[in-house]
Amino acid sequence: MSFINKIIVNIVQLMPKGVVHFFSKKYIAGELLDDAIRVTQELNAKGIMTTIDVLGESITSKEEAVESKEECLRVLDAIETNKLNSNLSIKPTQMGLMLDLDFAYQQVKELVVKAAAMNNFVRIDMEDSSTTDRTFELYKRLFATHRNVGVVLQSYLKRTYDDAAELNKMGTNYRFCKGIYVEPEKIAYKDRQEIRDNFLKVLELMLKNGNYVGIATHDTYLIDGSLEIINRLKVPREKYEFQMLLGVREDLRDKINADKHRLRIYIPYGKDWYKYSIRRLKENPNMAGNIVKAFFNIK
């Protein structure tokens, strides 16, 4: 089935943008901030939190990075003005991480300071392994003076347990996911069960140390395993949340919400929706198969 899904991905890339938009619109709020506001309001009405993400990453100039930061400032203003139960997620390369670390620090600091004044929070996303060390350096510099900032760890990287052990000492607020980038076997687990096992091992380490964790997964096995750890350690519900992507496993989303667990949905929007859609399909070909099944109403 994976081979068939990869063929579907290749076919999708040859389709007109309008067709790709038809397939991907379930997973993206839209091109405008107003779209992200509308989707967040709909989810908030169901008792579900969101994190809003301005699409775009790996920019090539400081001018682009400043434009991205300005749009993120508008997101924070919109959250405050509309009284949304939401926070902001950013890609560090979108803020200029790989151009100039000091420049990126100043960019993200401006967002974190504004969010703090609004009693809000900024999540620094994790990208591929070429950015990992810089992302942690950026996060640590920000956390030294501001507590309303968190970072992402990925269970498929072999370094993650050691990273969590170090970051736990700081009281880090995590988003924890499997990881979707294609990485060499030398630094990343490739076997599905190995990734799952490491996920639960690292999660237990985080929760034992009292850290807040956003458990970001659509994998029923991992959700069940996470709940077993939570129940065994008697973790209070205010110390964790589940996180999911917009439009993915809505049946599971609704069950988690009905069971009264804190739940946050990732809301991407922006003019770069096409690149985001194609990248997500390339990184996760199984998603292509799921889209086709949904389109033809195949259970």
For residue 32, how many other CB atoms are within 10 A of its CB? 12
Render pLDDT for 206-233 as a digit per residue (tens, 0 to 9): 999 999 999 999 999 999 999 999 999 9
Angle at 292 between CA 291 and CA 296, to 5 degrees: 120
pLDDT digits (tens, 9 = 90+) for 86-123: 999 999 999 999 999 999 999 999 999 999 999 999 99
- Chain length of the chain: 299
Q: What is the three-class DSSP state of 31?
A: coil
CA distance 120 to 112: 8
Average pLDDT, the chain: 90
Question: What residue ranges define each of the domains in the chain, with the CATH number in brackets?
Answer: 1-28+281-299 (no CATH), 31-269 (3.20.20.220)
Angle CA 145–124–189, to nearest 5 = 125
pLDDT digit string, tens, across residues 34-73: 999 999 999 999 999 999 999 987 689 999 999 999 999 9
Is residue 297 within 8 Å of 56, Cβ to Cβ? no
**Active-site residue (options: 123, 175, 196, 264):** 175
Can 53 be counted among the known catalytic residues?
A: no
C-alpha distances in Å from residue 69, one per residue of 26, 65, 77, 97: 26, 6, 13, 12
What is the helix, strand, coil percentage profile of the chain, to 5? 55, 15, 30
User: Furthest-apart CA pair in the chain: how many Å?
Assistant: 52
196 is catalytic: no
Give the predicted TM-score (pTM) of the model. Answer: 0.90
Q: How many CB atoms lie within 10 A of CB 2?
A: 9
| Catalytic-role residue among 53, 125, 163, 272 | 125
